[in-house]
Structure 1
Amino acid sequence: MQTITKFQIKPVTTPVEQELFLDVPARVYANDPYWVPPIRSSEAKQFSPSNTFFEYGKAQQFIALSQSGEPIGRIVAAVNQRLIEKEGQNVGVFGFFECISDFDVAQALLQVACDWLREQGMTVVRGPIDFSTHNGCLFLVDGFDSPPMILMPYNPPYYPEFIERDGWYKGKDAYTYNFPLDKPLPEEFEKAYRIACKAGITFRPIRTKGEEFEADALKVYDLLVRMFTDNYSYSPQTPAEFLDKARSFQSLIDPDVFPIAEYNGEMVGMWMGLPDYNIALKHLGGKLDWFGTLKFLWYRRQIDQGRVIYICSLPEYRRKMVSLALIYLGMQGGIKKGKPYKRAELGHIYEDNSASRKLVEAAGGKIHKTYRIYEKAL
């Protein structure tokens, strides 16, 4: 563990400080073989006034600087009014946390975030959550021996150690599951697909072009709102927010691993899979300029695994075997001739979501990594 005898914590108020804030991860993970640098321009955009979060929330960035002015840590405290209205309590969040291996620095960052949230009238703080759980959340607490898949967090093992030492307690754990693709599914899944078809469920890949993509994306949005409104620390997005993020992934979608289920034209379920683009992004150094784009196109050829972000179906259609049928179709798409996928990672799934966990485990999934959100009273 490093020890910095003198440092300062200050709010980010200038463009120079903003650049230092964005520099922190590169220092923290300088020698970590598993870290995937975030795209710097995308991360900077999240703090732009144009981010729709600031229409209903507010936030303050803080940075830790060594005596020589080097960036050694950072944190963001945020008030998400939609989360407060949904939960009926003044809960604030912290996120974008990164810190060198020095407990005093980490504790000071957590303290300044809590102080700011207390000044805003918050009585509980939760994190890590980057503004909302749609954006990014969770500390990795077990499974540090492999890189993160696309859209999953990664951090050094000392982050959960530091936050627990500072008196935080577990809010909720979540798991990801490993799915090897060289083993066939139990026959019940193919049978479920046939039952669903006979019950009038139709299946098709998501559409990825023009107005058809936008229409499907809005249907996905409606399905997710209906399915996950009661999820832990969930706060609602607007259709515009969801569409903006969906468009950023439009060209990256593999329709063969994104089947959707419909009944009389209504989307009633989906398996949302994505190739693991982290395999390519790892080589870009956080820069998606013209040269970074060329490197991305080159290294994406090495992608041999995927992440399943959601498997879901509306409760009233589960008797029609929609969830099992989607698992069957998603796995069939992954092993289709010409596909590069050797394994998939599914999740995250919260620890108390027993129905989803039983379904995934019945299909052969094994817990791969464990993540956690922490809480603390203010």
Structure 2
Amino acid sequence: MASADLKVRPVSGKADTKAFIELAYRLNGDDPNWVAPLREEVAATISPKKNGWFSHAEGQLFLAERGGKVVGRISAHIDTLALQMPPEQGFGPGTGFWGLFEAEDAEVAAAVIAQAEDWLRGKGMTRTLGPVSLSIWEEPGLLVKGHDHPPTVLMGHHPARYQGWIEAQGYGPAKKLVTYELDISKEFPPIVQRIVAAGEKNTRIRIREVNKAKFAEEAAIILAILNDAWGDNWGFVPLTQPEVDDVGKKLKPLVFNDLIRIAEYDGEPVAFMVTLPDLNEPLQPLKGSLLPFGWAKLLLWLRRPKARTMRVPLMGVVKRLQSSRMASQLAFMMIEYIRRASVTHYGASRGEIGWILDDNQGMIAIADAIESKINREYLIYQKAL
């Protein structure tokens, strides 16, 4: 039973929106491994005008207050494309979501989760998954392993205490997502090198850099491969053009030709690999603000980034080639070429791959072959409403 002075209410207006954003900085600011996101980016994520995901989704933000002080927050949301997916792929009819979860204590956690559930029930949902903030393509899952080091760009980081608070509300695991880390300063094992060398002799294979000057065209090629390659995966929701447009604006400063590769077979694009220098490294000291001089430091870094870590958030091979030797050969070739560029041009020594579904045998086999190890685990929880 929540205490009488604990109230949960919908976010309404600019002051509430600001309070919703600021809570995360207050609750997580003392965690040395939490990387404060830029406030402008958080505001854009929750704005229907600036996040293309809202073109097929609706949601409501909630604030928890105790004695007039903001002590918790949550979003409840419904993705119409997720409702259309086959239930055996994790979502489907009746599935709603909550995310952007922060709470000062267990009582607040219970209250905001209950409010999100009530909102979803009112919309006819019969099951909920969380945390998913906001799209499955953004920051899905709760960090349950890997609290001892900062996340890489576009990955979440949450207090360890949240796990028990969520599970206390009757939630059980729906899916585990993992990331792998590896030392990229050294060459891959001999077997991988031989596979790459054999691919280089195959005149039907071409591994090319993207051309940032043709950003829209290259993004369209990657989107087409992605939606085909990931179409049967758990939790898949097709990426739409409005989302791609908005993500493109956000990530374009992090796009470097030699870090994103497209594999062609007989002249047809059949695979891709996206790698991003870890923006969280220059962001961490800024504490979420570009003022007074943060913007200048960030612009300088973006002009010629030096990053210890490179993250591979997305990789895909067209469905018809999956489970073939060709698929793994193309993957190893792209990984090796990007590894070389990362070390030589950006001073990187560490790579992170993911997130990856913990039952994605193809990607796990590739991660094992290049001697990478799981460094972070995230859980997406579920509950019947």
Shorter-chain TM-score bucket reads over 0.9
* Corresponding letter in the other structure for 2:332: L
- What is the CA distance between 1:298 and its match in structure 2? 5.2
Identical aligned residues as a percent: 30
Partner-residue secondary structure (3-state), 2:187: coil
Maintained 8 Å contact 1:203/1:260: yes
The structure-2 alpha-carbon separation of the partners of 1:201 and 1:213, relative to structure 1 and needing over 3 Å to count, comes to same
Maintained 8 Å contact 1:280/1:302: no
Of residues 201, 206, 213, the one that matches 1:202 is 206
1:226 aligns with: 228
TM-score, length-normalised on structure 2?
0.91
1:278 aligns with: 280
Of residues 324, 341, 349, the one that matches 2:348 is 341
TM-score, length-normalised on structure 1?
0.92
CA distance in 2, matches of 1:282, 1:214: 30
1:255 aligns with: 257
Equivalenced residue count is 371
Maintained 8 Å contact 2:52/2:245: no
1:110 matched to 2:86? The reply is no
- What is the CA distance between 1:199 and its match in structure 2? 5.1
Maintained 8 Å contact 2:58/2:79: yes
Partner-residue secondary structure (3-state), 2:363: helix
1:306 aligns with: 310
Partner-residue secondary structure (3-state), 1:283: helix
Partner-residue secondary structure (3-state), 1:92: strand
- What is the CA distance between 1:364 and its match in structure 2? 0.7
* Corresponding letter in the other structure for 1:168: Y
Q: Where do residues 90-169 of structure 1 align in structure 2 (5 Å cutoff)?
A: 90-100=94-104, 102-169=105-172
1:186 aligns with: 189
In terms of mean alpha carbon deviation, does 171-180 or 129-138 score higher? 129-138
Which ranges in structure 2 are unaligned for 5 or more consecutive residues? Answer: 87-91
- Deviation per residue, 1:32-67 (Å, 9 max, x gap): 111111221222123333243333221111001120
1:65 aligns with: 65
1:370 aligns with: 377
Maintained 8 Å contact 1:217/1:243: no
* Corresponding letter in the other structure for 2:261: P
2:5 aligns with: 6
* Corresponding letter in the other structure for 2:101: F
In terms of mean alpha carbon deviation, does 261-270 or 200-209 score higher? 261-270
* Corresponding letter in the other structure for 2:342: G
Maintained 8 Å contact 2:228/2:319: no
CA RMSD of superposed structures (Å): 2.0
* Corresponding letter in the other structure for 1:94: W
The structure-2 alpha-carbon separation of the partners of 1:113 and 1:327, relative to structure 1 and needing over 3 Å to count, comes to same
Partner-residue secondary structure (3-state), 2:236: coil
In terms of mean alpha carbon deviation, does 78-87 or 108-117 score higher? 78-87
1:294 matched to 2:301? The reply is no
- What is the CA distance between 1:302 and its match in structure 2? 5.6
CA distance in 2, matches of 1:114, 1:323: 41
1:353 aligns with: 360
CA distance in 1, matches of 2:183, 2:3: 44
1:330 matched to 2:338? The reply is yes
- What is the CA distance between 1:368 and its match in structure 2? 0.8
CA distance in 1, matches of 2:101, 2:269: 37
Of residues 319, 330, 337, the one that matches 2:325 is 319
Post-superposition, which runs of at least 4 consecutive aligned residues in structure 1 deviate over 4 A?
Answer: 298-302
- What is the CA distance between 1:290 and its match in structure 2? 6.9
* Corresponding letter in the other structure for 2:274: M
Maintained 8 Å contact 2:185/2:348: no
2:39 aligns with: 40
CA distance in 1, matches of 2:288, 2:29: 13
